[in-house]
Amino acid sequence: MRFRSTRHFAMLVCGVFLSIYAFVWLLTSGSSSHVTVNKSSIPLEYQARCRFQETAFEGEEAEVSAEYKLRGVAVVFRHGERSAMSQKPSFDCACFRDDDRRTFETLQQEINSDKFAEFVRVDPKFSGYPRTPHRSQCSPANMTAEGALMINRMSSFLRSKYQPARLFSGEHMDVKIVSSQYHRTFQSALSFIQAFFPKPSSFIPSLNLIASNFTFLCTSPACVCSQAKHWRSALYDSEHQAYFLSHGSKPLIESIQALKSLPAFENAMDPLALVDTALGNYICRRKALPCAGKQCLTYDMLNQAINETFVHGEEMYAARDGLIARKLQSVEAYAVLYEVGKMLYYLQKQPHSKIIRVIYGLIYRKT
């Protein structure tokens, strides 16, 4: 094959390259066999759970009168939007909009840059952790690209609210950022930092991201509960499932059992797992809810599952017969409450200081 000029040859090479790139992009972005639905068909409360990118953040953060100076902030968050706990690996988790895909790639580059690594010193316990989620891959319990953007945009919103209250001005700034040792919480913390502390300053020249002791968010070696990990991983799920089977609505139990014939729901044994699977596999991916024969998953069923989860959670916490739920919640809430209490104590003792605490991690609930 002969080419009339080097230019024609270069154009052909570019065309082949772009075709291959487009094919790989489609492959890794993963269009699903499930029907994509219009956002307007998803109830508002579920849109809020997914935190779709086109929804603006709203709130009354930092409404501080001009006669006061904001001196302390504690931000407690779990993580950005993630795949289901029992997620089947796929490439369905790319950002839905092209603009968001480009924004995520920019965020990835920033967080993975040498400059950002110099500014944010990461605890050695996070060695080997990916700093950002994959741009399109879904994997069990891991944060999605949209989850990273959600945290980043929320952080930017919070900064815009706190800045007029003069939180970021002054010389004596005590900042502590803690994350539990999960990829999704670690990545959430970095996405938060990138927007909340956009660059080094004279009073925040660098930051440390500290790994907590498992899920209960303590950082001191003395703050250890050796049984908590066993409670969460081995006992809580089975306890929650057993309680649902003995106290739950019989029609809901039968509906969940019918849906287990679907691969995504084969491990959905209780209402919490049902909602988690529905969000991670369908609703937050903007897919139509599935059917298993004559049994279809509906938003009414999910609402009932959520209601039963809250009711059972209160009952299990109040139970006096040795249920793990009460112990686990007490252990995992302790560190956060202690940190806030200590923060208030130091603010009273040091009237010219400012304190920021950012805590990312699991608190009691598995999702």
- Residues 336, 201, single domain; the answer is yes
Does residue 351 share a domain with residue 334?
Answer: yes
Residue 279 corresponds to which tokens in the numbers above? 């969000």
Considering the domain boundaries, does residue 234 fall inside one?
yes
Residue 217 confidence (pLDDT) above 90? no
Residues 296 and 337 in one domain: no
Full-model pTM: 0.83
273-277, 283-287, 363-367: segment of lowest average pLDDT: 363-367
Question: For residue 307, what are the contacts with CB-CB under 8 A and spacing of at least 6?
Answer: none
What's the alpha-carbon Rg for the chain, to the nearest Å?
Answer: 23
Are residues 79 and 185 part of one domain?
Answer: yes
Q: Which two tokens stand for residue 244?
A: 């649902």
Range(s) of the domain holding residue 288: 230-321
Same structural domain for residues 81 and 164? yes
Same domain, 181 and 267: no
Quick one: average pLDDT of 53-82?
Answer: 83
d(CA 71, CA 74): 11
In a domain, 50, yes or no: no
Position 163 scores a pLDDT of 84
Alpha-carbon distance of 199 to 196, in angstroms, equals 9
Spatial distance between the Cα atoms of 112 and 76, rounded to a whole number of angstroms: 24
Same domain, 180 and 296: no
Asked whether residue 271 falls in the same domain as residue 157, the answer is no
Residue 225 pLDDT: 78
What span, in angstroms and rounded, lies between the C-alpha atoms of 20 and 281? 28
Tell me if 271 is assigned to some domain.
yes
What tokens appear for 207 in the block?
């930051």
Q: Is residue 1 part of a domain?
A: no
- Short-list 195, 97, 101, 81, CA closest to 147: 81
| 31 in a structural domain | no
- Is residue 367 domain-resident? no
Convert the pLDDT of each residue in 125-158 to its tens digit. Answer: 999 999 999 999 999 999 999 999 999 999 999 9
Residue 26 located in a structural domain: no
Domain count, the chain: 2
Query: Are 287 and 281 in contact, with CB atoms under 8 Å apart?
Result: yes
Q: Please say if the pLDDT value at position 223 is more than 80.
A: no
Same structural domain, 153 and 239: no
- Same domain? For 209 and 97 the reply is yes
Mean pLDDT score, 11-32? 41
235 and 221 inside one domain: no
Q: Is position 346 within any domain?
A: yes
Please indicate, yes or no, whether residues 107 and 149 belong to a single structural domain of this protein: yes
